[in-house]
Chain A
Amino acid sequence: QQQVKQSPQSLIVQKGGISIINCAYENTAFDYFPWYQQFPGKGPALLIAIRPDVSEKKEGRFTISFNKSAKQFSLHIMDSQPGDSATYFCAATVTGNKLTFGGGTRVLVKP
């Protein structure tokens, strides 16, 4: 029940295209859903996060869509750029508890 399932494992998108990464969870107690971006050889960086009381959150080219009834959330990267090439991790937590990470998605944006 603590799992967060992330798909796809890898993604190739052309420059200017939309990257979409999906995550699903089981634990309905989760109340915070962050996304992390990790470049090779670097630590993860918090990219954007959402709480279940909203269905969408947008920051620049990055948008989280949240579907509470389906227990799914997704990250959309609009106008993908080569500099967005990285591994993206979704995560979920009950506030005050540890993060449960998805398995990660390696995104490659081709020029």
Chain B
Amino acid sequence: DAMVIQNPRYQVTQFGKPVTLSCSQTLNHNVMYWYQQKSSQAPKLLFHYYDKDFNNEADTPDNFQSRRPNTSFCFLDIRSPGLGDTAMYLCATSRDPTPPAFFGQGTRLTVV
């Protein structure tokens, strides 16, 4: 049974058209992460939530935002996607203070 579920699995969006990716978890973990992974690269942390506290990485573009309405759900909003935002977006969870142990299947985003 999937424990971290990401939707959609694949998303194609036009340059500049806002897009929202979603993540849900059944683990009741208090920490949720969003990573960006480009082809043949390691995942790069965009931000994470520790409970309701939002923690943004210093180099995450302002174009990327996130919402966590409750423990189970987290959203990644890309306000004006550029071609360089084409990537796999990964959601992960952990129970603080352990590092992420459970990743979702990812959403492969293509910006055209």
Contact = CB atoms under 8 A, between A and B. Distances in A.
23 contacts: A32-B98, A32-B99, A41-B106, A42-B105, A43-B6, A43-B90, A43-B92, A43-B104, A43-B105, A43-B106, A44-B43, A46-B100, A93-B99, A95-B99, A96-B96, A98-B45, A98-B48, A99-B99, A99-B100, A102-B42, A103-B41, A104-B40, A104-B41
A89 interface: yes
Interface of B: 4, 6, 40-43, 45, 48, 57, 90, 92, 96-106, 108
Contacts of A93: 99
Query: Interface residue tally of chain A, by bracket?
Result: 20 to 34
A45 interface: yes
Contacts, number: 47
Q: Is the interface of A mostly helix, strand, loop or mixed?
A: loop
Nearest to B107: A43
B97 A95 contact: yes
Given A32-B99, A34-B99, A43-B90, A101 B105 contact: no
Q: Is the interface of B mostly helix, strand, loop or mixed?
A: loop
Interface of A: 32, 34, 36, 41-46, 89, 91, 93, 95-96, 98-99, 101-104
Contacts of B101: 46
